[in-house]
A and B are shown apart, each in its own frame.
Chain A
Amino acid sequence: MSVDFRTNEEPEALGGFAQPAAPTSHRLTRGQLVRRRFFRNRGAVIGLVVIGLLVLLALFGSYLLPWQYDQRDLGQYYKPPSGRHLFGTTQAGFDVLARTVRGLGKSLVIGFMVAVIQTTLAALIGSSAAYIGGWYEKAWLWVIDLMLVLPSFFLIAVVSQGGPKGTYAWLLLVVLLAAFGWQLSARVVRSLSMSVKEREYVAAARFMGLSTPRLLVRHIVPNIASMLIVDVCLGVGYAILGEAGLSYFGYGVQAPDTSLGTLIAEGAQSTTIAPWIFLAPAGVLVLLVMSVNALGDGLRDALDPSSMSGGQA
């Protein structure tokens, strides 16, 4: 594979020597480069489109769909999919599509919140551990080990079993999922930050008297931003699956709230007589997680300059 130096993002690296003139092509910015590499990946683009559609559906579904999630169609019990109810009805005559869309909304909100919180935690803890070092670093590494040893599923279930119930109980779930989700990413952030912290500009910033928190946020974290973006994206998938798994056993989102997990658990009760109640939320869950994974993989390949799968820019 030939390497095109005109696309190199750091022309200064050539030490100020005049570069070979390239009259026929212009230099690409990093943004353009990443965008080209990303849009060449068909799976990732499809994933992005599907996520966009699902988010729109979750946001505006209640205005577009003929039935509301809490609206009964009396007499229409356990009806298979038809023109009247696209995904059929439940035992009590609720529209499966409307309920799936509502569950999807909650799953998406939880997924995004957890992913953003846990990646933020990972970035702050991982980079500060690498930069400060010493006992501070040892202590965090030890905490990470400690939390990895514990089976998080059971602990989250214990807390959510004993924790508060009600409308905002799902926020506790978000906190718990994030609290047990940042450890592996923090390790990766730490090892990436180790090399960044040796750079000259970090030393320069330090000697100019920049405070440690500011130095981390301004000079270290931006340099690992591509890893963090991918981490958020893949984190959404893990969080949605984690929430659904807990809800499947009744330890996640509590009634009257619904998520894809609670709907799947509900549908699993009647797979023999009314499989559509199970298949609709399960299908949407798989579709969503697949799209998020494809998007994350695509972003990684596009952002990682050493990756070959993005092709040449």
Chain B
Amino acid sequence: MVRYLLLRVANYAVLLFIAVSLAWVLAQTQLHPRQLFEVRTPPLDPRSIENILRAANVSDQVPLWDRYVTWLRGVFLHWDWGTSPGGGAVGDEIGRRIWVSFRLVTIGWLLGTVLGVALGAWSAVRQYRISDRVVTAIVLILVATPSYVTGEVTKMVATAVNKQVGFQLFLFLGEKSTGTLPGYPLAGLVDRVQHMVLPTLVLTLLGLAGLQRLQRSLMLDALGSDFVRTARAKGLRENRAVMKHALRTALIPTGTYFAFQAATLFVGATYTERIFAFQGMGIYGVDTIATQNINGIVAVTAFGGLCYLVGAILADLMVAFLDPRVRLS
């Protein structure tokens, strides 16, 4: 088991290294930070532009290989992921933003998972009844709706509600208010909750939709299987047969999906971050491209790749842990 895991991790490390190197080459050849400085008024001295670019290791006048070696040295010897063209350290920025993303997605993701599994299992048990059809129809709409549409619509509804009740019940700019808070106790917490409700709702709906579909079909397969029928035939109560035999089996693939998602969430909430003005990881990736921040986008790509691989390993472990039929050693 340990040997198997170590082999996988080593394999993934090589894969990640090559993937990030490719992303580095792509970013270095496709983005042009020089343009940022050439359009400045008053015009900058070409030599000082060159110096700024060289300091960030993004000058297109240095041979690509030399830049690559410099970048590798920084990353492996000093864990230094470079700076943006403006001068800020990319590593610090990411370190800060990981937690913003984490605070944004955790609750919505957990809620979406629990509700999705519950709704999926419930509608499978009630297959083709009205309740199943209603849930399935709503989920079909949700699955086809990208998060920026869900987000904007939520914002529009919330604005209307705010107008109706006459005060700012829902807030949707960032994590918390910037001005002074009202004097009542726990005002800071209330303020954060007011900011969190809408993005959490959007993320919950997103997670719920995918999982409901998955769980419903898994549960239908499990309910039709021989061992559930046997359990029922032996006189087990319907509820007990469903919960203990069908649901347990049907949860195995969901478990792997859950483990995989846990890791990939950090970079997955880009649209939600944009709509609700959270300064998280996903939106950083988008901004780094717009601002020709080569080191930034490479670091985000590396982080995204790492998340993906951690997710893959977690998913493997989850299968081994949940499914007695799987033996890794």
Chain A residues proximal to chain B, CB less than 8 Å: 43, 142, 145-146, 148-151, 153-155, 157-159, 161-163, 237, 241, 244-245, 248-251, 264, 268, 271-272, 275, 278, 282, 285-286, 289-290, 293-294
> Are B145 and A286 in contact, with the CB atoms below 8 A?
yes
Residues of A within 8 A of B289 (CB): 154, 157-158, 161, 251
Bound-state CA distance A237–B309 (Å) is 26
Given A153-B285, A162-B29, 4 extra CB contacts under 8 A:
A142-B15, A149-B309, A150-B23, A290-B140
> Are A278 and B271 in contact, with the CB atoms below 8 A?
no
Residues of A within 8 A of B159 (CB): 272
Task: List 6 interface pairs A-B (beta carbons < 8 Å), by A numbering.
Answer: A154-B286, A158-B289, A245-B271, A271-B156, A286-B144, A289-B145
> Are A151 and B301 in contact, with the CB atoms below 8 A?
yes
> Are A149 and B27 in contact, with the CB atoms below 8 A?
no
> Are B286 and A157 in contact, with the CB atoms below 8 A?
yes
The answer, yes or no, to whether B32 is at the interface (CB within 8 Å) is yes
With A161-B290, A162-B31, A245-B271 in contact, do A154 and B300 touch (Cβ < 8 Å)?
yes
Looking at chain B's contact residues, is the secondary structure mostly helix, strand, loop, or mixed?
Answer: helix
The answer, yes or no, to whether B219 is at the interface (CB within 8 Å) is no
Residues of B within 8 A of A149 (CB): 15-16, 19, 305, 308-309
Taking the nearest CB of chain B, how far is it from the CB of A47, in angstroms? 10
Residues of B within 8 A of A163 (CB): 30
Report the contact-size class of chain B (Cβ under 8 Å from the partner).
35 or more
Residues of A within 8 A of B270 (CB): 153, 249
Looking at chain A's contact residues, is the secondary structure mostly helix, strand, loop, or mixed?
Answer: helix
> Are B140 and A264 in contact, with the CB atoms below 8 A?
no
Residues of B within 8 A of A249 (CB): 270, 274, 286
Bound-state CA distance A149–B17 (Å) is 10
> Are B19 and A146 in contact, with the CB atoms below 8 A?
yes
The answer, yes or no, to whether B171 is at the interface (CB within 8 Å) is no
Taking the nearest CB of chain B, how far is it from the CB of A110, in angstroms? 15
> Are A158 and B152 in contact, with the CB atoms below 8 A?
no
Residues of A within 8 A of B285 (CB): 151, 153-154
The answer, yes or no, to whether B110 is at the interface (CB within 8 Å) is no
Residues of A within 8 A of B153 (CB): 282
Contact residue among A142, A145, A148, A264 (Cβ-Cβ distance under 8 Å from B149)? A264
